[in-house]
Amino acid sequence: MKRFFAIFMARNLEFIRDKATFIWTLLLPAFLIFGFAFAFSGTNNAVYKIGTVGEKPAGKAFLSYRHLQFISYPSGEEALNKLKHHQVDMVLDFDAGNYYINNDDTNGYIAEKLLASDLDLKLKRKTVTGTVIRYIDWFVPGVIGMNIMFSCLMGVGFVIVRYRKNGVLKRFKATPLRSIEFITAQLISRFLIVIFTSIVIYTGTNIFLHFEMSGSYTDLFLVTSLAILCHISLGLLFSTRFKSEEVAGGIINIVIWPMMFLSGIFFSLEGTPPAMQVASRLFPITHFIEAARKIMLDGAGLSGVTVSILVLTAATIIFLVASAVLFKWE
Amino acid sequence: MEPLLKVRNLVKHYGKVKAVDDISFIVREGMCFGLLGPNGAGKTTTIEVMESIHKADSGEILYKGKKIDRKFKEQVGIQFQNTALQEFLTVRETLVLFSRLYTRHRPLDEIIKICSLDEIINRDNQKLSGGQRQRMLLGIAMISDPQILFLDEPTTGLDPQARRYFWKVIEDIKKENKTIILTTHYMDEAEYLCEEIVIMDRGKILESGEPKALLQKHFGGAVISLPEKDVNGGLDLDCTPVHKDGYLKIQCHDTDRTIQELIRKGIPLNGISVEKPNLDDLFIKLTGSSLDAVRNGTGGDDR
Ligand SMILES: Nc1ncnc2c1ncn2[C@@H]1O[C@H](COP(=O)(O)OP(=O)(O)O)[C@@H](O)[C@H]1O
Ligand SMILES: [Mg+2]
């Protein structure tokens, strides 16, 4: 325990005193959030998004209009949820024979006018209400996820490889320190650091942007913690063997970049090719972002995100066990 | 009495390179033991196997007659040849960090005093001169108050003044009756600090024993050096001269007779010098080349 604390404290000091990294860790995500908030403020999408439920009837003119994007949903409930938050402009429920628009959405009004021009489609009009979800509300879980991904994979994976390469690990190997003590100290130190930076980033930008928060902060905190643990464990796994920073850095990048674009950080994966959606399921970060969005935007409780929780927990355990087995000082 | 450390038929390869080639020796308690040899001789490999940092391919290390176990790490202090420390810590914080890794440790003040770390104790551990850094690393090695100290080329790369200073620190530590195992490629260092030495080259042991006894055994008298240019043709002497740095080094049993012989041959004696032989000369005698030549020849590690 004494040995664990010694390494833990030293690692914390190292992080806090490494000013350049410290500031970057906080500034980059904040910069992204404000940048995107500014870029997307007040713009209306030129493309109207129409959610559909059930089999689309063939040969209808409306269904082939340009500037309309159709996204099919398995259930009417899910589609209406999207409509409430202005993520789609209209929902056509062919099963129920209804169409829905959001009373608070001007896009829906235009989409309805377009629909009216196609007299063949006979659907009954229904309305829902709900506040608009800005892009930024939707984007913020993505940025937190991205911060987790970088901070954990680089701060653990890359740093331990650097320690190994320049001989820090060898120096520890010459002492009674056990590898499990070293690993847990790295894990917990990084865990606290990333929790801290995530909270600072969220609250810091929330002061100015007032994100939509329909769920509970406790649930969000729990899911975030789990995601952090999961990514630190993944970082540890990367760090177990590599001796060169270049190789480790390269491999971490090979993993990070697909995760950046396939995990729905910047754009929704709805309507993307099925192969891409399946690929996105492989990345733990996708499950975090999805859960965080459900909590923040749809007001889901923990029971609403059980799948994500299970996936993240399982991945964490697998990564941790594999790291403990594979770890080498040299 | 059982020796403190016993190295038996140690062999270690790195791929095709045979770094250590079947060597055996013992280290007795309380002495300063030197592993001497040029770069690439296999000193680091040998000492790191002894520290149980690396595993040997074959052979064994016995500590007080027994195989080395986990507790060994509490008993030894190690200063690696190439090492790194966690960044953004001061010297004091670094020492505290390492002190906490051991069950018991020596008071920090004592370490600071022995290794003269006073001036630099609050400095960033990455911002030290060569000599200061080596003293800090020695402090880390000493922190657990170990019985055995392994020092791998602690003075390589230091200027002469810093080396002398480091020697003084080692001498103080020797007074505490610690067993020190030191590697070096400086013959004078081994001669000055070590009671017993092993001379290594290309993974093998060339000679071992007390430095004085070794010199006695190999050189009866003094070493005579002559500028090469002063000597024309062969010298018909009772020993083979060795060429080094433009000088001819003649190691003879009878100094008087050799000088008379040189005079008889009409060789000018203006550039002559007569020295007591040192371990450098012994190395030359054993390998036929000087330490520097071997170092450059094998292209050993210069990391
Ligand atoms: N990690 C390694 N991988 C491959 N070869 C090595 C390694 N370490 C040392 N060697 C080789 O083993 C030989 C002995 O090296 P070393 O023990 O470092 O010698 P010394 O410490 O006497 O300079 C050298 O030829 C060196 O190149
Ligand atoms: Mg060496």
Lowest mean pLDDT among A56-60, A211-215, A296-300, B246-250: A56-60
Alpha-carbon gap, residue B244 to B128, rounded angstroms? 36
| CATH pick for B5-215 out of 3.40.50.300, 3.90.320.10, 3.40.630.10, 2.40.30.10 | 3.40.50.300
Out of A7, A13, A174, name the one closest to residue B78 (CB): A174
pLDDT at B185 over 60: yes
Would you say residue A72 has pLDDT above 50?
yes
Q: Is A34 within 8 Å of A214 (Cβ atoms)?
A: no
Confidence of residue B241 (pLDDT cuts 50, 70, 90): confident
Of all residues in chain B, what percent carry a pLDDT higher than 70? Answer: 93
Measured from the alpha carbon of residue A243, the closest ligand is: 1
- Give the lowest-confidence range in B66-75, B193-202, B227-236: B227-236
- Residue A21, pLDDT > 90, answer no
Query: Is the pLDDT assigned to residue B303 strictly greater than 60?
Result: no
Residue extents of the structural domains in chain A: 2-38+134-326, 48-128
CB contact under 8 A, B101 and A6: yes
User: What's residue B294's pLDDT?
Assistant: 47
More confident position, B291 or A238: A238
Q: Write down the pTM of the prediction.
A: 0.80
A19 vs chain B: nearest CA distance in angstroms? Answer: 10
**Beta carbons of A292 and A141 less than 8 angstroms apart:** yes
Give the C-alpha separation, A153 to B121, whole Å: 34
Q: Are strands B242-244 and B247-251 parallel, antiparallel or unpaired?
A: antiparallel
Identify the pLDDT of residue B289: 67
Find the B46 Cα to ligand 1 centroid distance in Å. 10
Reported as a single tens digit per residue, the pLDDT across B60-73 is 999 999 999 888 99
For A185-219, how does the pLDDT look when each residue is reduced to its tens digit (9 = 90+)? Answer: 999 999 999 999 999 999 988 988 888 888 899 99
Q: Which of B220, B279, B285, B286 is nearest to B253 (CA)?
A: B220
What are the C-alpha distances in Å from B145 to residues A29, A211, B235? 48, 58, 56
The DSSP element (H or E) to which B183 belongs, if any, is strand B179-184
Q: For a substitution probing ligand 1, which of B13, B17, B39 has the most ligand atoms within 8 Å of its CB?
A: B17
Contact A170 B51 (CB under 8 A): no
d(CA B82, ligand 2 centre) in Å: 8
Of the segments A58-67, A98-107, B113-122, which one has the largest average pLDDT value? Answer: B113-122
pLDDT-wise least confident of A130-144, A160-174, B76-90: A130-144
Compute the distance between CA of residue A160 and CA of residue A32 in angstroms, rounded to an integer.
Answer: 28
- Secondary element (H or E) of residue B175: helix B160-175
- Cβ–Cβ of A174/B74 closer than 8 Å? no
Contact with chain A for residue B126, Cβ under 8 A: no
Residue whose C-alpha is closest to residue B143's, from B177, B164, B112: B112
ipTM of the complex: 0.83
- Mean pLDDT, residues B33-46 taken together: 94
Q: Give the domain ranges of chain B.
A: 5-215, 220-276
Question: How far apart, in whole angstroms, are the C-alpha atoms of residue B301 and residue B303?
Answer: 6
